[in-house]
Amino acid sequence: LVAAHPKMPALVASTCSACHGMTGISPLGEFPNLAGQGEPYLVKQIEDFRNHTRADPLAKSIMWGMAAMIPRHEIRAIALYFASQKGAPGQPANPKLVAAGRKLFMGGEIATHLPACMACHGATGRGLLPWFPRLAGQHQAYIIAQLQAFKAKTRTNDPHAIMRTVAGKLSTAQMTALAAYVHTL
Ligand code: HEM
Ligand code: HEM
């Protein structure tokens, strides 16, 4: 059972909130919003920082240490807390990029066999299943960094290498367009 308004865990107040905000809306583009993210997804990411399958530069330099210090029995409560917060609202972005990103997100690309992102992340970017992350309202810099990390295979925690395959087909220009589009959702 998911409590409607779980109490803020002490570690969130003392530590995580410095970068992710008190309710999971972060102040900087490199730090992801966690609000409204699926609870199973958040638990899995914390595990993956701990087992080092997320090894892009900011994961390594910041989140490996943070994740390692969370007591095992508190992981779920922290994930539940952020999952139950209201997700970031859609925000304006460069209209040209948004239009190009929307096309890819909704329809994929036949020439490169790129699947439509909405098939998993949902037409409104909320994730069709709890372990498909919410992208709606997420910071553009963070989205681009993660797509680059999947492409460079420094982030290798995606089941069946789905995201490594998807991102491997994307150019930097396409990543930028997709990041602009999901920021507006
Ligand atoms: C990423 C949780 C503290 C900076 C993440 C993610 C989670 C998380 C779940 C992955 C989000 C996603 O995949 O969408 C936490 C928790 C914390 C904490 C529970 C407290 C124990 C911090 C602090 C900082 C920080 C204090 C800044 C000093 C970042 C950054 C990323 C990230 C930069 C992106 C890493 C990457 O590029 O792979 N965090 N965080 N976090 N967090 Fe934290
Ligand atoms: C993760 C974008 C297509 C399944 C992610 C993340 C991004 C992203 C930015 C990381 C989110 C975060 O760190 O918070 C996209 C884009 C797509 C696309 C732009 C289209 C070009 C797909 C498709 C599927 C999928 C088609 C399913 C077949 C997943 C899953 C994860 C993920 C399962 C989480 C992996 C993990 O456990 O860390 N995606 N995605 N995505 N995506 Fe996609």
Q: What pLDDT is attached to residue 58?
A: 97
Give the span between the Cα atoms of 138 and 29, in whole angstroms.
8
Ligand 1 contact, 133 CB (< 6 A)? yes
Q: Which tokens hold the place of 103?
A: 């096309």
Q: Are 40 and 134 in contact (CB under 8 A)?
A: no
Each residue's pLDDT tens digit, 163-179: 999 999 999 999 999 99
Given this model, what pLDDT does residue 79 score?
98
* Domains of the chain: residue spans and CATH: 10-83 (1.10.760.10), 95-184 (1.10.760.10)
Nearest to 50 by CA among 60, 58, 40: 60
Q: Can you tell me whether residue 109 is helix, strand or coil?
A: strand
Under 8 Å between Cβ of 132 and 120: yes
How confident is the model over 27-70, as pLDDT tens digits? 999 999 999 999 999 999 999 999 999 999 999 999 999 999 99
Residue 32 alpha carbon to ligand 1 centre in Å: 7
64-96: per-residue pLDDT in tens? 999 999 999 999 999 999 999 999 999 999 999
6 confidence band (pLDDT: 50, 70, 90): confident
List of E strands, the chain: none
Residues with CB under 6 A from ligand 2: 32, 44, 104, 114-115, 117, 119-121, 131-133, 135, 143, 146-147, 157-159, 162-163, 166, 178
Supply the residue whose CA is at minimum distance from atom 18 of ligand 2. Answer: 117
- Hey, whose CA ends up nearest to atom 38 of ligand 1? 59
For 19, the token pair is: 């970068």
Indicate whether 4 pLDDT > 90: no
